[in-house]
Amino acid sequence: MRAVHHLNLPRALHPGAWWLWALGLAVAASRTRNPVLLILILAVAGFVVSTRRSDDPWANSFVAFLKLGLVVIGIRVVLQALLSTRSQGNTVLFTLPQIPLPDWASGVKLGGEVTAEALVTALYDGGQLAVMLCCIGAANALASPRRLLKSLPGALYEMGVACVVALTFAPQLVTDARRIRAARRLRGRTRGSFRTTAMPVLEGALDRSVELAAAMDSRGYGRTAHVPRRQRRITSAAVLLGLLGIMLGVYSLLTDAMAVPVAATALLVGVLLATGAMAIGRQRVTRSRYRPDPWALPEWLVVASGAAAAATMIAAAAAGVDGLVLAGPLVVPPVPVLPVVGLLLGLAPAVAAPPLVRRRELVPA
């Protein structure tokens, strides 16, 4: 009998739905440098993470990505202060000692006058990248990497080891950092240098990811049935062309490298090719799954909310809505109504996603 998955049934949402929702917010952030809209996207992602994250250690990935975003903003502002020219603005804030450069680098300066326009522009550009990183951090905090790998299509099983290392490295990094900080507190050492902390964290996270990949390989992960060589080649070529089409379409939509209809067509063709090849590649799978993650109404609602936020921002950019692109770095950022409404739709997972059973709720009082 087919199971019915209710909206209020406590269960974990499909990890693919969380990733698609987060990628939708990242696409929305790529369409604007308005700080008001970027802060709104960050607030939407943070609110959903706070309401729907689990008690697992890797669920704190959002805070780590938030700190990484602050570092990115700082680096962007510092580089802009060192390399900016007077042509970027006339409001001089301070002057740095300028280092003379050889004649072959006449178009580049190092130091000198730093203008307010250059710093504000760098702050907006760095903020856009930081918000996109935080959207990826929200996906890492909400989606279990192991459950996501369990749902990997059969046509991509040969990439299983690489996917394991890539998708589990960031969560393991956060887990090892918390473990090392707790061990230091137990020893009475509240402070530690970056050198003595960073290397154990990086080494431990990479070792755990590789160990997981080796364990999956030893248990037959990726083992395939015998299929004709021609079918294998056609499937691999279709997957490759589909992924290339998806990358080309997404890159064109993010950077305006192509017209929107051409980019959308390339994205659609890539999705169709990849989906068809993955459906055919499932015939090669010889293993069964225990309790596969369901894809029900909550998953569709979460994905639709992220897609609605991205589509609203893309449509607003194509229509030339005022406020996505600022008239100047020192103007007061406007608040466009249509993008704000579209971004608020990204809050739907806070209600539509099924609640989780907290570990502390399972402990009797």
pLDDT at position 195 is 61
- Tell me the per-residue pLDDT of 217-255, one tens digit each, with 9 for 90 and over: 666 655 555 666 776 677 777 777 777 777 777 777 666
Q: How many CB atoms are closer than 10 A to CB 158?
A: 14
- Tell me the per-residue pLDDT of 284-310, one tens digit each, with 9 for 90 and over: 555 566 667 778 888 899 999 999 999
CA dist list (Å): 221 to 9, 15, 281: 31, 19, 15
- Tell me the per-residue pLDDT of 92-138, one tens digit each, with 9 for 90 and over: 787 778 777 777 766 677 777 788 888 888 899 999 999 999 998 89
Mean pLDDT of the chain: 76
* CA–CA distance, 54 with 12 (Å, rounded to integer): 9
Amino acid letter, residue 76: R
- Tell me the per-residue pLDDT of 331-356, one tens digit each, with 9 for 90 and over: 888 888 889 999 999 999 988 888 77
> Which tops the pLDDT comparison, 136 or 152?
136
pLDDT tier, 48 (very low <50, low <70, confident <90, very high otherwise)? very high
The DSSP code sequence of 89-124 is -S-EEEEEEEEP--GGGTT--EEEEEEHHHHHHHHH
Largest CA distance in the chain: 78
Amino acid letter, residue 306: G
Domain parsing of the chain, residue ranges: 15-150+295-359, 233-284
Q: How many CB atoms are closer than 10 A to CB 107?
A: 7
* pTM score: 0.73
Q: How many CB atoms are closer than 10 A to CB 264?
A: 15
Cβ-contact 277, 244 below 8 angstroms:
no
Q: How many CB atoms are closer than 10 A to CB 257?
A: 11
pLDDT at residue 155 tops 60: no
